[in-house]
Amino acid sequence: MERMEECFRWYGANDPVPLAHIAQAGATGIVTAIHEIYDGSAWPDEAIARQKAMIEGAGLRWSVVESIPVHPSIKLGTAERGRYIGNWKDSLAALARHGIGTVCYNFMPVVDWTRTELRHPMPNGALALRFDAVDFAAYDVFVLKRPGAEGDYSAARLEEAKARLAGMDEAAVARVERNLIAGLPATEQKYDRAGFLKALAAYDGISPADLAENLNHFLRAVVPVAEELGINLCIHPDDPAFSLFGLPRVVSDAGDVRRIFSAVDTRTNGLTFCTGSFGTREDNDLTAMAREFAPRIHFTHLRNVTRESDGSFHEADHLGGSSDLPAVIQVLLDEQARRRSEGRKDWRIPLRPDHGHLMADDLTKDRINPGYSLIGRLRGLGEIRGVMHGIDVARRMQ
């Protein structure tokens, strides 16, 4: 049995993890983007060529684009969205000219992946990313003072949040605010408090149904272009897979994915199966979802989260946490074998270990992208590789 394509996320020439170290981890593919262009402009050929040359110069392959930013006008459905959809199509065409055939993107409004804590201590001394639901409510209601925020929380949660804030000093509040709105890796926009409130206000009156229709409009425009170019598109789920700051979410559960697939019912319109994002919801059966959506899973993020009783969660060991990652991997390997039996050239599914713990020598480094240190992801990749090898051995012994 062939393993899935092992990839690493890389943030370009300024990434503190160099390509040479990624190659030493045993990965063969790179997941990256033209990170300096995030304003909705089309990506120029020369920027793509330069990035690709660096990757190939290290003996690696640019396997997946993550992500071409989706301009807010597209999510809001404003009059100028046509221009930015056109730029998105132009970026697809440029990527196709350079032989890159998989593009991941997301449709999360205002905030990308969101955590309140970037250095949560684990029992073994490693540090993890964490979303604290009480800290989040305390910031949203009593620090940010988002209009109408109180209505999004129970009375009990508001009391918890008020007590939590009372026990936080200014530095703790500033740290939570920085983590929530000042920008994590791959975030397209960094905000101050006033700017963040303004960005949120733009979505006043935009319901989940409205956002879903704006996504459908986008898909109807770009999927036929991607199909003609031979590029697979794969939307990333919301992270976490529930509403934040009163914003609508439209890629959070199986029903959302079915709706997205039906909007443009072609294999090109696919999914990035992120076990961590979908795993933040107890009602998401990851194995069943992987099995149902397997034919249109073009890329996967393999990580695990531990859900906590109060709605919080933290990034767990890849083979720990609340989700059965080996069961999902088995489904994906089965799908990969099915594709290969059909004679497809694109049968291999790229994976990347996501959001590793900060551990060992990385704990002392001055510059680390939260969630994207080398050693934690290397450990995750090793565990995932071991699961794939174990499944292969077990099947050969049957």
Catalytic positions, written as ranges: 236, 274, 301, 354-355, 372
For the sheet containing 117-121, what is the strand order? 117-121, 127-131, 313-315, 305-307
Residues in the chain: 398
Q: Judge whether 241 and 253 are in contact, CB under 8 Å.
A: yes
- Alpha-carbon separation of residue 239 from 114, 276, 281 (angstroms): 7, 8, 10
Task: Decide the pairing of beta strands 313-315 and 305-307.
Answer: antiparallel
9 Rama class: left (phi>0) / alpha (psi -120 to 50) / beta: beta
Angle, in degrees to the nearest 10, between helices 170-181 and 193-201: 40
- Alpha-carbon separation of residue 290 from 227, 234, 391 (angstroms): 23, 14, 17
Cα–Cα distance, 396 to 398 (Å, whole number): 6
Show the tokens assigned to 39. 């304003």
236 Rama class: left (phi>0) / alpha (psi -120 to 50) / beta: beta
Show the tokens assigned to 278. 């979908």
Write out the H or E segment, with its range, that includes residue 269.
Answer: strand 269-274
Helices (H), 185-285: 193-201, 208-229, 254-263, 275-278
Angle, in degrees to the nearest 10, between helices 254-263 and 208-229: 50
